[in-house]
A and B are shown apart, each in its own frame.
Chain A
Amino acid sequence: MGDGMRAVAVLAMAVLAGSAARAEEKLKVGFVYVGPVGDFGYSYQHDQGRQFLQKQLGDKVETTFLENVAENDSQRAFEQLARSGHKLIFGTSFGFMDPMLKVAKQFPKVDFEHATGYKQAPNLATYSARFYEGRYIMGEIAAKISKTHTVGYIASFPIPEVVSGIDAFMLGAQSIDPNFKVKIVWVNTWFDPGKEADAAKALIAQGVDVIAQHTDSAAPLQEAEKAGIHGFGQSSDMAKFAPKAILTSLEDNWGPYYVGEVKAVQDGTWKSHDTWGGLAAGMVVMGPYENMPADVKAMAEKTEADIKSGAVKVFAGPISKQDGTVAVKAGEVMPDKEILGLNWYVKGVDDKVPQ
Chain B
Amino acid sequence: MNPDMIQLVLVGVVTAATPLFLAALGELVAERAGVLNLGVEGMMVMGAASGFAAAYLTGSTLIGALVGTAVGALMALLFGLLTVVFAVSQVAAGLALTIFGLGLSGLVGSAFVGLKRDAAPHLAIPGLTHLPVVGRLVFGEDYFVYAALLLALAVSHGLRRTRAGLVLRAVGDNHGSAHALGVPVRSVRLLAVLFGGACAGLGGAYLSLSYTPFWSPEMTAGRGWIALALVVFASWRPWRALGGALLFGGATVLQLQAQAFGIGLPGQFMSAVPYLVTLLALVALSLRRRAGSVAPAMLGTAFVPDR
Contacts and interface: CB of A to CB of B under 8 A. Distances in A.
Interface of A: 1-2, 5-6, 35-36, 38-40, 152, 155, 158, 183-189, 191-199, 201-203, 205-206, 217-219, 222, 226, 240-241, 350-352, 354-355
Nearest to A201: B12
Contacts of A206: 260-261
A186 B212 contact: no
Interface in B10-24: 12, 15-16, 19
A184 to B, nearest CB: 7
Contacts of B260: 152, 183, 185, 199, 202-203, 205-206
B50 interface: no
Interface string B1-32: 00001001100100110010000000000000
Contacts of A350: 262
A354 B269 CA distance: 9
A222 B271 contact: no
Contacts, number: 129
B221 A205 contact: no
Interface stretch (B68-76, B109-117, B164-172, B295-303): B109-117
A193 B214 contact: yes
B114 A188 contact: no
B267 A195 contact: no
B61 interface: no
Q: Which 4 A-B pairs have the closest CB atoms?
A: A186-B267, A192-B221, A193-B212, A202-B260
Interface in B79-114: 95, 98-99, 102-103, 106, 109-110, 113-114
Contacts of A194: 16, 19, 207, 211-212, 219, 221, 223
Contacts of B262: 183, 350-351
Given A40-B113, A188-B267, A354-B266, A195 B102 contact: no
A321 to B, nearest CB: 18
B268 A188 contact: yes
A208 B93 CA distance: 47
A267 B261 CA distance: 57
A6 B103 CA distance: 7
B221 A191 contact: yes
B261 A241 contact: no
A193 B267 contact: no
B283 interface: no
A1 B98 CA distance: 10
B212 A197 contact: yes
A1 B113 contact: no
A188 B271 contact: yes
B243 interface: no
B257 interface: yes
Contact of A193 (B114, B119, B216, B271): B216
A35 B106 CA distance: 11
A222 B114 CA distance: 12
Nearest to B214: A218
A345 B256 CA distance: 20
B252 interface: yes
Given A36-B106, A38-B217, A192-B221, A354 B267 contact: yes
Contacts of A201: 8, 12, 253, 256
A195 B252 contact: yes
Nearest to B9: A205
B252 A198 contact: yes
Given A188-B271, A202-B253, A351-B264, 4 more contacts: A39-B216, A40-B114, A186-B267, A201-B256
Nearest to B113: A38
Nearest to B207: A194
A352 B265 CA distance: 9
Nearest to B261: A206
5 contacts: A2-B103, A36-B217, A187-B256, A202-B257, A354-B268
Contacts of B222: 192
B173 interface: no
B286 interface: no
B216 A40 contact: yes
B177 interface: no
Given A193-B207, A198-B16, A203-B260, A355 B266 contact: yes
Nearest to A189: B221
A333 to B, nearest CB: 30
Given A186-B259, A198-B253, A352 B211 contact: no
B162 to A, nearest CB: 34
